[in-house]
Amino acid sequence: MKFAILAFPASNCELDAYYAITDILCEEAALVSYDSDSLIDFDAVIVPGGFSYGDYLRSGAIARFAPIIPALREFANSGKPVIGICNGFQILTEAGLLPGALQKNTVAQFICRDQQLIVTNNQSPFSNLYDEGAIITLPIAHGDGNYYCDTQTLKSLEANNQIIFRYHNNPNGSVSDIAGITNQKGNVLGMMPHPERAVEKILGSDDGRQLFTSIINFIKTGEVAFHE
């Protein structure tokens, strides 16, 4: 099993993701440059956080034109798991792989702290080892984490069970407390909190580890092994 971890100019979380996958979960991973054009032979893709292209224009807006994006679209369309974390979530929305957009936080400042989340759907490749309704703690670090979508899109997200995580005490003004969503197929997840920074208790929480083990279980079995 092999994870691709994309690296854009000014990404800064790709090594955190690499460490989580290789040192903690003991799976294979490789850093893949933004100017690559293939994701062949990978089983899952992580689009990590940071400030791709300096967040010029708006977060993720320039990264969507990187040479790797067509390969990412093809990978996602094949049904394999893709997770975008923080700036990665912003890139996925800008690239049209997820609905909605990320705006400035309503508090008008960068937020960096531990944040409680509610697991609202544990029947996905990314959440099947969590209990539904569980409250978990993951770090957040963003200035543009305010998720927005129109009323019709929100109704669609809710009807299709695409909302995987919601904030407990919403820190940034996101509509309907949304912290993480999938596409309709369920294989592409975008989330603002950082699970890769919460894979060991020494870091303050290891609640992020179950997200990655959920992905691994899904890849190995081809099924979602739901946690009752």
142-162 pLDDT, tens per residue? 999 999 999 999 999 999 999
Domains and CATH numbers, the chain: 2-221 (3.40.50.880)
In the numeric block, which tokens belong to residue 113?
């702290």
Measured between alpha carbons, how far is 210 from 130 in angstroms, rounded to an integer? 7
- Give the burial class of 23: count Cβ atoms within 10 A of its Cβ; 0-12 exposed, 13-18 middle, 19 or more buried: exposed
d(CA 31, CA 193): 21
Integer Cα distance of 220 and 207 in angstroms: 21
What's the pLDDT tens digit per position in 16-42? 999 999 999 999 999 999 999 999 999
Q: Rounded mean pLDDT of 110-134?
A: 97
CA distance 85 to 89: 5
Catalytically active residues are 86, 194, 196
Q: Using alpha carbons, select from 93, 97, 96, 95 the residue that is nearest to residue 174.
A: 93
Provide the β-strand partners of residue 191.
Answer: 85, 180
pLDDT for position 222: 72
